[in-house]
Amino acid sequence: MPFTHVAIPAGTPPADKAAIARGVHEAMVATLGIPDDDFFQMVCEYQPDDFLFDRGFLGVQRSDRVVVIRITLRRGRSDAMKRDLYARVAANLGRDADIRPQDVFVYLVENDFSDWSVGGGRMSMEIAVQREVDA
């Protein structure tokens, strides 16, 4: 179960905001194999003076429209899957929200299944096991 935080420039049109969220989710479904209904995203806007960054770090030329995507997910994905995820996110955001690939900044935070509680004050692992027993 990934949880995604997306930081976008203030004033991003609502249609682009939705397209960004959908584009990130579609990329995770296609490359990481998460279920389509596993959709949890927090989208926040930042002001120009809230995000300070090097416009040319590692030779990537960034504009004022950088979108920062932090995906927290269970560990275990291969480097190839992550590489495909990054490429698919950039392609989706370019296609659907006119975001340049150079302005797509993605990073992953990995943890274990026992690090999640998605509701009810219960560890997600317990909920998943209970669903298997009930099935």
CA atoms within 13 A on the CB side of 2: 30
Which residues form the domain of 13? 3-134
pLDDT in tens, 69-96: 999 998 999 999 999 999 999 999 999 9
Q: How far is CA 80 from CA 30, 31, 32, 34, 125, in A?
A: 13, 9, 10, 16, 26
Q: Is 17 helix (H, G, I), strand (E, B) or coil?
A: helix
The DSSP annotation for 78-99 comes to: -HHHHHHHHHHHHHHHHHHH--
Q: What is the pLDDT of residue 134?
A: 67
The β-bridge partners of 108 are 71
Say which CATH number the domain at 51 has.
3.30.429.10
Number of domains in the chain: 1
Q: What is the pTM of this model?
A: 0.87
Is 70 exceeded by the pLDDT of residue 130?
Answer: no
Q: What is the pLDDT of residue 129?
A: 58
C-beta separation of 5 from 44 below 8 A:
yes
Q: What are phi and psi of 41, to 5 degrees?
A: -135, 140
* 16-74: pLDDT as tens digits: 999 999 999 999 999 999 999 999 999 999 999 999 999 999 999 999 999 999 999 98
User: Taking the CA atoms of the chain, what radius of gyration do you get in angstroms?
Assistant: 16
